[in-house]
Amino acid sequence: MTLAQLLKQFISRHWQQYVAAAAMLFSVAVLTVLIPRRVGSVIDGMVRHQLDQQGMLKELAILLLMGVAIYFLRVGWRMQLFTASYQLGVELRTRLYQRLSVQGQDFFQKQRTGDLMALGTNDADAIELAAGEAALAGFDGSLTFALVIGMMLLGVDWRLAIAALLPFPFMAWAFKKITHHVHEASRLSLERFSKLNDQVQETLAGVRTLRALGLEQQSAAQFAELAENASDASLSAQRWEAAYEPAVGITLTSAGALTLGVGGYLVWHNEMTIGALTSFSMYLGQLIWPMFAAGWVLSLMERGKAAWARLEPVLNMEVSVQDNGVLRDPPTGDILFRKVSYLYAGQAHTALAEIDLRLEPGKTLGIVGPTGSGKSTIIRLLLRQIETRQGDILWGQHPLADYSLHSLRSAINWVPQEPFLFSASIAENIALANPAASREQIMHAATLAAIHDDIMRFPQGYDTPVGERGVTLSGGQRQRVAIARALLTDSPLLLLDDALSAVDTDTETRILQHLHHLQHQQTRRCAIIVSHRLSAVAETDHILVLRDGKITEQGKHQELVEAGHWYATQWRYQQLEASLDAA
């Protein structure tokens, strides 16, 4: 879809506002072109001594009323037109947000956050201007141009009009050349602003790392370079947009000189009155706005085209995980993997190879294995962040794809290794999935997650703001706040994806004891614990050991220790490490 097609669709949906604005603009244009003609008549009447004092006051009153009418009509069409165009900006940003909110992780691994933010700000603004100011200037300028030229040709003198219009082909040629450069400069300006935006976002997100490594000056130098590049590109675009004005100026100056020469000749030979020449000169002055409007419209449209060329692919990009499920109730029952395999795009080796597992309600499954063995891939498949291409995943005898994404994910409480906290209080972050929870319920969940005592040591307790991304909390505290958030809602499945990696062993033991006790109370909830610490899964009902995407060992903790394979070796090593730390 082109920008023109987008604007056509939008205007057709908001045609009432555009028609109202067009009617007001038409009235403004008519009144505007009538004023010079009336002024010319007044001058001729004065020259011929046909206008007395009372007639002069009457004409001045009419001109004043026309001016007041033009003022209010201009206010009216601005309110109508800009209200509609701002709605386009709202629609584009809403579409972008909705598209981003349903995209999978693969999409965000390929896109830059700063670039996506720029699409919702600068690019959307450029398209909004094309629907508002460009539409306004285009309609008003074209209408005024047509009416003024008509009055010059038919209402004053066609010979003088033709002479005055001789320089205009030069302006058309200049506009064509300038427009191409404006488009390229606008595209480059938007791209460089996007890079600058991305640099700012990354710098703010990683500011503590930059300080720790002493990279402040290097980061500042990179920012300065990107800012200068963005400034140069924006300045280049502004220079090319400014080139419209000299083309208009040269054209109108030439037209004025021709008007003065030809008009003076016609007046000298009594073929035109002074009043008519005055009217013609005022009409020529009124062509200044249509000419500048043409340059302004071309500039806004080219900038809008460049912005739409960046925004449209993201809006129309296929969602990596389709939401075509028809089951709206949250899933319950057994979770079953049957011969599930998965290969990430661009990878030579499979992340999972023919995985078979069953998890019953009320049971807890532990998954361990070396880095890159496929543990987190199982979690991502359950969450439908990625889609299985081989094998079946069933929950309650239905494939996961049969459930809507909302119903599926509402049945899962997921705590990743690096949880995300919002810029709100600790209590608000814990109650994120259950805003109606009471303070007592929030405190109980925090106690289960072994974070209550830490919270109470803060001066504001549960009302303590955590800052952006939870920057005021330690890594272990952020993980425990996220665990408390998951425990506050009674969902059928709890996923802990190495969610205890940043806590000490004593705290880990307390949390696991609480989880174990909670599992006995809530027989409908099942849990999957992924961990590199084997102590985190020692009390689970069943343990899977993954290596290179395959299940190499499975069973209960004691069975795996006695088997003497990878699990037993890692268990002895970690136990020895823990004893040395304790000593």
In sequence order, what are the residues at sequence separation of 6 or more whose Cβ sits closer than 8 angstroms to the Cβ of residue 94? Answer: none
Fold held by 363-375+400-582: Rossmann fold (3.40.50)
Mean pLDDT of 435-455: 90
* Topology of the domain comprising 3-316: ABC transporter transmembrane region fold (1.20.1560)
- Boundaries of every domain in the chain: 3-316, 363-375+400-582
What are the structure tokens assigned to 507, written together? 């705290």
- Look at residue 569 and give its three-state secondary structure: helix
- Give pLDDT, residue 519: 73
pLDDT confidence of 567, banded at 50, 70, 90?
very high
pLDDT tier for residue 346 given thresholds of 50, 70 and 90: confident
The pLDDT value recorded for residue 393 is 92
CA–CA separation, 445 vs 522, rounded Å?
14
Same fold across 3-316 and 363-375+400-582: no
Report the sign of the C-alpha dihedral through residues 112, 116, 118, 123, in that order. Answer: positive
Percent of the residues in the chain that have a pLDDT greater than 90, as a whole number: 11
Put simply, whether the predicted model's pTM sits higher than 0.85 gets the answer no
| Strand-pair category, 526-530 with 493-497 | parallel
Tokens of 341: 């395999």
Q: What is the pLDDT of residues 506-565, one digit of tens each?
A: 888 888 888 887 777 666 788 999 988 898 898 889 999 999 899 999 999 999 999 989
Hey, what are 536's tokens?
């985190």
Quick one: which of 552, 550, 560, 541 has its CA closest to 377? 550
pLDDT in tens, 99-146: 888 777 777 777 777 778 888 887 888 888 887 777 777 777 777 777
